[in-house]
Structure 1
Amino acid sequence: MNAIKELRSTLRPAVLALGAAGMAALIAGCSDATGKAAAGAAPGAPPVSAATVLEQNVAEPQELSGRLEAVERVEIRPRVSGFITAVNFKPGAEVKKGEVLFIIDPRPYQAEADRAEAAARSARAKAELARLELRRAERLLGDKAIAQREYDERAASQKELDANALAAEAQAEAARLNLSYTRVTAPINGRVSKAEITLGNLVDASAVLTSVVSLDRIYASFDGDEETFLRVSRRAHAGQAVPVRVGLVNEEGFPHEGKLEFIDNQLDTRTGSVRMRAAFANADRSMTPGLFARVRIDGDSRKAMLVSDRAIGTDQNRKFVFVVGEGGRAEYREVRLGPVFDGLRVVRAGVKPGENVIINGLQRVRPGAPVQAQIVPMTASAQPLQDKDAKLAAASVNAKE
């Protein structure tokens, strides 16, 4: 019996060791099998939406920033000095050419005008008397009743008095002008500012009373780059109309249409830009001088490739798209972009017409990885494509289940 107990105590560690080794082998085998199975099951290609790159003739626009300027702007200054006795306008009101804005005390100028008129009449009377005496002298000279010298003196006196009469008349006209200048009028049609100098103040010719800006037409001034200059200067100098559109900060798009009117004669070498100006009708008075303006100049029509902005990704300072290449694999393409045309982005380099670019599901795409692409129309609206992409993803999940 003791021998049997000793045998059992001897065999038990061996059996336990054998069992542990078998269990370890079993676990290792299961793990290896699981790993092989996992390695053999490749993940499915992610569902994406792709659209074909469009090629169209587009008049590629150039968008710039500018400011509105008045076609005419006049600072109203008095031509004579005196006290302001009346202000006849409301600040910010529209005024007509010739409308009286200020009145300067006219009494001193009225008195001066009366004095000058009286002096002119006196001078005219003296000149008339000298002409009558000269006629008498002519008759007396014919009868040899006076000497030639006396006749010559009377002729010279008559000419001197005529000149004095003209000078007196000029002084009277100057006095009448000064009297008229006491009524300060609007020189143009437009909108008046506020009165800078109010009733009762003494003013002279150096004072600025107010200002008036025209409203019927308005300028939009902006700086164009060298590309814009080269594109439009040829047409402008050839006499061709260059359309320009403008939008204000509270407006959608560019609702105001005008024409390029001025291109400066040289570029600013410090900024690489050239000053330009376009004129616009302003019948509704919606455009006011000084406002910020978004300016768009339409370019010449040429072929361009168009894609949706949803297809464009950003990698630091670079823009890229994924193209569905051979074997359904995603190809990374760096692109150079242009402006937006009818909701689609102009691509100047990086893609070719007819290629399919991924526009939905970019977050599931890796360069060189296979994708399951569904071709959809190239549109500017995102909602229809998102719905299709969601349906495609749901169908893929159901198929796997």
Structure 2
Amino acid sequence: MYLSDIKADSSSESTENTPWYRQRKAAYYLLPLVGVILLYAVTRWWSGSSEAAPPPPAVVTVATPLSRTVTDWDDYVGRFEASQAVEVRPRVSGQLVGIHFKDGDVVQKGQLLFTIDARPFAAALAEVRAQAAAASTALTLARSELARASRLIADQAVSAEEIDTLRARVQSAQASLAAAQAQVRSRALNVEFTQIRAPVTGRVSDRRADIGNLVAGDSAASATVLTTINALDPIYFAFDGSEALYLKQRRAQQQGGAQAQDVEIKLQDESGYTWKGRVDFTDNAIENGSGTIRGRAVIANPEYFLVPGMFGNMRMNGGAPHQALLVPDGAVVTDQARKVVYVVGKDGTVVVRPVQVGALADGLRVIRSGLQPTERVVISGTQFAQPGAKVKPVAGQIAPTKAVAAPPSAPAASQATVLPVN
């Protein structure tokens, strides 16, 4: 109904004061107000129905800590070294005429490696042998003359002076013979030194001189290096330890633990400690500059797999076995300067537990203090666990795992780890 219609109707009735006209005019002005009220009511209803319900509690996986007996191990980083390293040098000078090994071979002690032309030394040996023979003949003659003169002394046929002269001649001949025999031994050694043999069993390097070269052996300083030999079975593992770890080991030994100082070593591409040995040497002083002390372990290497210069991570028995609680490493959260784990109470409320952590053992983190064996630790979904919030716990299980390790960054010399016993 429009106002023009009302006016038309009112004009048709020729009056504006009739009740009918006033009702229709009031309805005309109230219609927009009613529309606004209806629109407001619909908006309120729609906004009320679109409000989301409170979200359900987050689902997290919980489990009680794993209790196991573990042994403390102290970690070190070091290098492998040859148990014996020898530079093969000639002891006589001459021309190299023979090489009797292949580069990189494993050679045995006493095995022939090089040959030097022995003819000059053989000639010198023959010469001194002839001199020794002449000295021996002179000694025989001097003794015969002394014997004849001794038989005549009773008859006063020779003087005492002649007897003394003959005795001195015998002694001089003996000395000449001894000198000649010493020359024979010296020249014989030179002939022997023309055959250069391996002084130790080990792996030989490549040759540094070829056949036909002249090699020098007159003195140790100027002697030609022909090759090198490294004794590799057993092989040494050299490492540096901090003063704190040295004191820890000494205290443990005083208390009757870690007497053998057994060690285990892993290489850069290994996930486990596969090489076994024991410490056989600790230096007699701590270095002033670094505050570390040098140590050495002996490792069996029958297949010569380990070579000098290799890096390795070593752990050494650091104490008696003890009981410890273990949780997954991901369950430990860093909260500023402290380590915490989330524990779910009986009513589903998340509680923070500050803990003191140890090292890894079979992929699990050792908890030294701050956690009870019966508490339920959040092992999965820690990002949804907020202190004081309600969660829906789902039972899980903690089991040891063997981590597959790529070449890791080297641990510090003062780092400690543990190894499970059972």
TM-score normalized with structure 1 length: 0.84
Distance (Å, rounded) in 2 between the aligned partners of 1:133 and 1:25: 155
Q: Is the 8 A contact 1:190 1:213 kept in 2?
A: yes
Number of residue pairs the alignment of both structures matches: 378
**Deviation (angstroms), 1:316:** 6.9
Match of 1:261 among 258, 272, 280: 280
Task: Sort the Cα spacing of 1:108 and 1:116 in 2 relative to 1 into closer, same or farther, 3 A.
Answer: same
| Alignment pair present for 1:23 and 2:16 | no
- Residues 1:15 and 1:369: Cα distance change in structure 2 (over 3 Å): same
Distance 1:121 1:153, change over 3 A: same
Matched, 1:231 2:248: yes
Shift, 1:152, TM fit: 1.5
Cα RMSD (Å) of the superposition? 2.9
Partner AA of 2:390 in structure 1: P
Structure 1 367/269 Cα, relative in aligned 2: closer, same or farther at 3 Å?
farther
Q: Does 1:369 align with 2:389?
A: yes
Query: What amino acid sits opposite 1:341 in the alignment?
Result: A
Indicate conservation of the 8 Å contact 2:263/2:276, yes or no. yes
Distance 1:251 1:45, change over 3 A: same
CA contact (8 A) 2:364 2:401 kept: no
CA distance in 2, matches of 1:332, 1:192: 62
Q: Structure 1 residues 198, 233: closer, same or farther in 2, change over 3 A?
A: farther
- Structure of greater Rg: 2
Shift of 1:34: 5.3
The CA deviation string for residues 235-255 of structure 1, in whole angstroms up to 9 with x for no partner, is 668893122112233434112
SS of 1:327's partner is: coil
Displacement of 1:101: 0.3
Which residue in the other structure is 2:342 paired with? 322
| 1:84 aligned to which of 96, 104, 107 | 96
Secondary structure, aligned partner of 2:374: coil
Aligned to 1:196: 208
Q: Where do 4+ consecutive residues of structure 1 move more than 6 Å?
A: 4-11, 236-239
Alignment partner of 1:303 out of 313, 323, 330? 323
- Structure 1 residue 313: deviation in Å? 3.4
8 Å CA contact retained: 2:281, 2:297: yes
Q: Please list every run of 5 or more consecutive structure 2 residues that lacks an aligned counterpart in the other structure.
A: 1-9, 218-222, 403-422
Alpha-carbon distance in structure 2 between the residues aligned to 1:317 and 1:287: 41
Instruction: Determine which of 293, 297, 314 is the counterpart of 2:312.
Output: 293
Deviates more, 1:95-104 or 1:279-288: 279-288
Aligned to 2:79: 67
Aligned residue for 2:232, secondary structure, equals: coil
Counterpart position of 1:104: 116
- Taking the aligned partners of 2:89 and 2:337, their CA distance within structure 1 comes to 55
- Distance verdict in 2 for CA 1:139–1:365, change over 3 Å: same
Tell whether the 8 Å contact from 2:252 to 2:318 is kept in structure 1 after alignment. Answer: no
Q: Report the Cα offset of residue 24 of structure 1.
A: 3.2
Greater share of helix: 1
Q: What is the identity, as a one-letter code, of the residue corresponding to 1:248? A: L
| Alignment partners' CA distance in 2, 1:162 and 1:88 | 43
C-alpha distance in 1 between matches for 2:373 and 2:122: 83
Tell me the percent identity.
37
| TM-score normalised by the chain length of structure 2 | 0.80
**Distance in 1, Cα, partners of 2:336 & 2:193:** 67
Could you tell me which residue of structure 1 aligns to residue 270 of structure 2?
A: 251
**Structure 1 Cα separation of the partners of residues 395 and 26 of structure 2:** 75
Aligned twin of 1:178: 190
- Structure 1: 5+ residue runs without aligned partners? 383-401
Whether the 8 Å contact between 2:362 and 2:401 is mirrored in structure 1 is: no
Q: For residues 286-345 of structure 1, give each alpha carbon's deviation from its aligned partner in whole angstroms, at most 9, with x where no partner exists.
A: 222222223222332122221122313345776432122463222234444322223422
Residue type at the aligned position of 1:379: A
Q: Please tell me whether the aligned partners of residues 224 and 275 of structure 1 are also in contact (alpha carbons under 8 angstroms).
A: yes
**Matching residue's letter, 1:380:** P
